[in-house]
Amino acid sequence: MVFEDLSPREKSVLGAVIEHYVATAQPVGSKIIVHKYDLGISSATIRNTMQKLEDLGLIDQPHTSAGRIPTDKGYRVYVDYILKPEMLSAPERKKIKEKIMVDYKAIEELFEQTSKVLGDISKQLGVSLAPSFDKGILTNIDLIPVAEKKLLVILAVKSGLVKTILLEAESSLKSLALEKTKNILNERLCGLTLKQIVDSMDQRLKDTSSADPKLIRLFLNSKEVLVSFQKEENIHLGGTLNIVNQPEFQNQDKLSSLIELLEEKKTLAELFSRKGISEGITITIGKEHKHSDFSSLSLVTSAYQAKDLKGTIGIVGPKRMKYAKLVSLVDYTSKLLSEILSR
């Protein structure tokens, strides 16, 4: 059977099962559907319909005497064919704008704040992934001595994104040498994408007689660090306590696995940077993730556009999430973020 061909009755019962389970985290029996939801059908009809939904693999009965809970397939049918987005309230939209549309000293603060807002309103884990910098165009390099042999390198990328790196020099840093070297680096590297810089830095920094040769060598030896933006460095989380306090993670083993996953960040960064996430909402449920560690979780994500750079924001939580509300939250926030970054 094609799932979009479910009858209106079957969709109504499936929707009621999922909505009640999302609200309570408890298996749902036919009596609850009869008393809580005005579907206009008898108790016997609801029982028969639930049995058919179980036969289709859309709901499951964890114990013989228990009610039903949604399966991954059931959630997928729900979000694809039944879900109706719940619009954000005017106070919620105002709150998001007030929290995000402020002046920031560094662009990283914007992504940090975005993840906090998502986590706060969703009561789940808010996530924001800064844009991939491979295609970012370098606009300025600044060199700032912070100790006798330590140099802070500040790389500014078009769209206002900034990366700072601390390098260790072989000898004391001289102001004049730093200024001349900075001028050469800006002259020869600005206007290029970071990928172009990685590929051609050796050639472009040849014959730099006016620059300090030790500093040039330091740059060449450090180029992978200078222009490599590890995805896990660019991911920001907000509302970790929201997700660890969910009933699904009261089991100590499950909780430990979740905390380890969030602290390590690499897998989460890979999921948020994967192909297939575009503007508009992408929902990934349970075992649809290639990573088995995420089989008990769902992601609601959307890409945002920052001129020539793209990134992703979204929400992570148990499969038992209020998808109708989260779809609107992520969509609204991603569009607002694109607007801010495009200014």
| CATH superfamily of the 90-132+231-341 domain | GAF domain (3.30.450.40)
Tell me what pLDDT residue 120 has. Answer: 95
Q: What angle do CA 267, 268, 271 make, to 5 degrees?
A: 90
Tell me what pLDDT residue 272 has. Answer: 84
Tell me what pLDDT residue 225 has. Answer: 74
Tell me what pLDDT residue 41 has. Answer: 87
DSSP readout, 251-315?
Answer: SHHHHHHHHHHHHH-HHHHHHHTSTT--SS-EEEEGGGSSSGGGTTEEEEEEEEEETTEEEEEEE
Class of domain 138-227: alpha beta
| Residue numbers of the chain with a pLDDT score lower than 50 | 1
- 122 close to 239: Cβ distance less than 8 angstroms: yes
Tell me what pLDDT residue 221 has. Answer: 86
For residue 164, the cross-strand partners are 154
pLDDT in tens, 68-94: 999 999 999 999 999 999 999 999 999
pLDDT in tens, 189-246: 999 888 888 888 888 888 888 888 888 888 888 877 776 655 556 789 999 999 989 9
Ordered by start, the domain boundaries in the chain are 3-82, 90-132+231-341, 138-227
Tell me what pLDDT residue 95 has. Answer: 92
Question: Which numeric CATH code is attached to 3-82?
Answer: 1.10.10.10
C-alpha distances in Å from residue 162, one per residue of 50, 131, 139, 159, 165: 54, 11, 10, 9, 10
